[in-house]
Amino acid sequence: MKRIFLLIVTNIAIMLVLSIVASLLGVDRYLTARGLNYGALLGFSAVFGFGGAFVSLAISKWMAKMSTGARVIEQPSNSAEMWLMNTVERQARAAGIGMPEVAIFDSPEPNAFATGMSRDSSLVAVSTGLLQSMNQDEIEAVLGHEITHVANGDMVTLTLVQGVVNTFVFFLSRVIGYLVDSALSRNDDRERGPGIGYSITVIVMQILLGFLASMVVAWFSRQREFRADAGGAHLAGKRKMIAALERLKAAHEIPSELPKQMTAFGIREGEGIMALFATHPPLDVRIAALQSSGGAVS
């Protein structure tokens, strides 16, 4: 799964858990005691929405390691690992961030990702497929791209965006749940609090609205990719960054053996309606953007 896709799915799961906790604590009963209290609901929505997003961010590095089986390099065991560590250290210093953890995960596809809660507590991981299929210049560009994600604070930025959309999902799912419950219940039933119609509707709408809201997060993610490409070109060289993207484009033309594995560098691009959920722009577009940049990096 992609780095951002993993964050989104984790966030939706956490929001569902928080929703259940809120119900058990009597929050929904309080909000609907005398008709729906929209002001209080909005306040609760913001607290739970941003809370869920930041919990997702806090466990993102752990989730990424667990989902990919990434092995953190504590002590380089060969020259390739030593070069990898030295390159990340040099780029991190140039980008003004703390030294990230560096990891390798087993996958035949050329993939890489960066995640973490802050600029000075991050993780950069590359796949075995990337190390085997790319030369050092191309790997350097990939690492520069990921380091730029960290330096730009992209995970925090997307978490804030996720918090905003979570707030609306939490709010709208309960408004819709209240309307459905009101249509199905008698007056005396409503006086005793929200019924089963409310609970079921809230859960269903939270899942549906959560995936729709992920399109907003995905759009922001696609915009950040262009900046990360520019940052990779700045740290490693424009020629190397374009060569890395060209290599990834060639890899796309080969049917994937593991289509569900993490492809945080943009290995798989959505088609049709799935393009709305894509966290990375098409590689052709990214290459064209770099080629037309005239060497300027923003």
User: What does the block give as tokens for 256?
Assistant: 């994937």
**Intra-chain end-to-end CA distance of the chain, in Å:** 29
DSSP string, 11-32: HHHHHHHHHHHHHHTTHHHHHT
With CA atoms as reference, report the closest residue to 85 among 154, 139, 155: 139
Q: How far apart are CA 32 and CA 210, in angstroms?
A: 22
DSSP state of 242: H
- Residue 188 CB: number of other CB atoms within 10 A? 7
Cα dihedral sign, 46-50-52-55: negative
CA-atom Rg of the chain in angstroms: 22
Is 146 an annotated catalytic residue?
yes
Task: Name residues whose C-beta falls within 8 Å of residue 141's C-beta, 6 or more positions apart in sequence.
Answer: 232, 233, 236, 237, 240, 241, 243, 244
Rounded to 5 degrees, φ, ψ at 69 are 70, 30
Residue among 140, 146, 225, 269 flagged as catalytic:
146
DSSP string, 76-140: --SHHHHHHHHHHHHHHHHHT-PPPEEEEE--SS--EEEEEEETTEEEEEEEHHHHHHS-HHHHH
Task: Name residues whose C-beta falls within 8 Å of residue 239's C-beta, 6 or more positions apart in sequence.
Answer: none
Q: What amino acid positions are annotated as catalytic residues?
A: 146
